[in-house]
Amino acid sequence: MAANILDLLIIGGGPIGLACGLEAKKAGLTYVIIEKGCLVNSLYHYPMNMAFFSTSERLEIGGIPFVSNNPKPVRAEALEYYRRVALSSELNINLFEEVESILKAEHFTIVTTKTKYTAKNIVIATGFYDIPNKLNIPGEDLPKLRHYYQDPHYYATKKVLVVGANNSAVDVALETYRKGAEVTMVIRQNQIGPRVKYWVRPDIINRIEEGSIKAYFNSTLAAVRKYEVDIQTAKGIVTIDNDFVLAMTGYKPNLPFIEKLGIKLSDDAVMQPNYHADSMETNQQGIYLAGVVCGGMNTHTWFIENSRIHAEKIVKDIVKKRKGL
């Protein structure tokens, strides 16, 4: 049991959670960051060769410079940067510790897999990468179907089916193809996604047009079996041989956890959590949101570069309340 009452407990040790920790430390608040996985856990599980959309200065937190050798930083550089920020700033971070329950009385009691904390305020900065959007088709539970991808070498010489048409799917298709996989894409729309990185989109279009990568447009994956898959196309079911399915269908935040805390969600499909834009405080006093989780199911609204400011808003509001302003 924590002996002292924290000013702030931050749930999530990603870039925005770290940014909240930096701001809290700067303001002289007592705080702890809780992360259920490793440091910047979501970034760690990104594809090994992934390059960011943003330039390095737009990924900086706490005013600490991020120097990259590339015009667009890659995963390894981001991991190095955020690790150095956390260590050099001596942030209070407890890793591989998951929140089990949160109770509200005079203060919040946060029970984790390791201990118990008492805090006056909570920040939820849990991102969205933990829960994949399921296909809900027969065979989705087979080991050959994966919603996460890291290294293309594993798929060399194998028949790989990639589901999706946006950045993750395109990167997976191109990388596995270039490592010797026989790649087929299943795309719900009639084209490659318009948000695909501008320097990558022509590459995948050209590979499809020349036949190096097979693509089924206006199609969905219907079923997965051990050595083959069924694809629902406009002309009916097509069955092809298959070794692996990489379903790059996106991810979603843990909205049930947020709702369980009494935070209201919008009634539409976006399910956006309720919060005040000037302070990031939710309809539950003392509970704040930061980062991509603020967008609900619309995970393309908030990124590192435009949600870094959430940390400043949150800490400013907590300090103001503490002063009785």
CA distance 201 to 170: 8
* Range scoring the smallest mean pLDDT among 46-50, 199-203, 209-213: 46-50
pLDDT of residue 285: 96
CA distance 118 to 110: 6
Query: What average pLDDT does this structure show over 245-249?
Result: 96
**Do residues 10 and 34 make contact, with C-beta atoms less than 8 angstroms apart?**
yes
pLDDT of residue 129: 85
Share of the chain above pLDDT 90, in %: 87
pLDDT of residue 325: 60
The structure tokens listed for 150 are 């890291």
**Predicted confidence (pLDDT) at residue 2 exceeds the cutoff of 80:** no
What is the per-residue pLDDT across 276-286, written as a single tens digit (0 to 9) for each? 999 999 999 99
How many Å separate Cα 308 from the centre of its chain?
A: 15
* Range scoring the smallest mean pLDDT among 28-37, 63-72, 217-226: 63-72
**Do residues 57 and 68 make contact, with C-beta atoms less than 8 angstroms apart?**
no
The model's pTM: 0.89
Q: Which domains does the chain have, with CATH numbers?
A: 5-131+251-322 (3.50.50.60), 134-247 (3.50.50.60)
Measured CA angle at 83 (ends 90, 313), to 5 deg: 70
What is the per-residue pLDDT across 75-105, written as a single tens digit (0 to 9) for each? 999 999 999 999 999 999 999 999 999 999 9
pLDDT of residue 3: 56
**Predicted confidence (pLDDT) at residue 207 exceeds the cutoff of 90:** yes
What is the per-residue pLDDT across 121-169, written as a single tens digit (0 to 9) for each? 999 999 888 889 999 999 999 999 999 998 999 999 999 999 999 999 9
**Predicted confidence (pLDDT) at residue 255 exceeds the cutoff of 70:** yes
* Range scoring the smallest mean pLDDT among 42-46, 187-191, 232-236, 284-288: 42-46
Distances 215 to 184, 194, 210, 226 between C-alpha atoms, Å: 6, 16, 11, 21
pLDDT of residue 124: 98
Strand order in the sheet with 287-289: 93-94, 31-34, 8-11, 122-124, 287-289
What secondary structure does DSSP assign to 147-167, as a single string? S----GGGGTTSEEEEE-SSH
**Do residues 256 and 126 make contact, with C-beta atoms less than 8 angstroms apart?**
no
Query: What average pLDDT does this structure show over 172-177?
Result: 97
Measured CA angle at 304 (ends 185, 112), to 5 deg: 95
**Predicted confidence (pLDDT) at residue 51 exceeds the cutoff of 50:** yes
pLDDT band at 20 (very low <50, low <70, confident <90, very high): very high
Alpha helices in the chain (DSSP H): 15-26, 41-44, 75-88, 167-178, 201-210, 255-260, 304-307, 309-322
pLDDT band at 1 (very low <50, low <70, confident <90, very high): very low
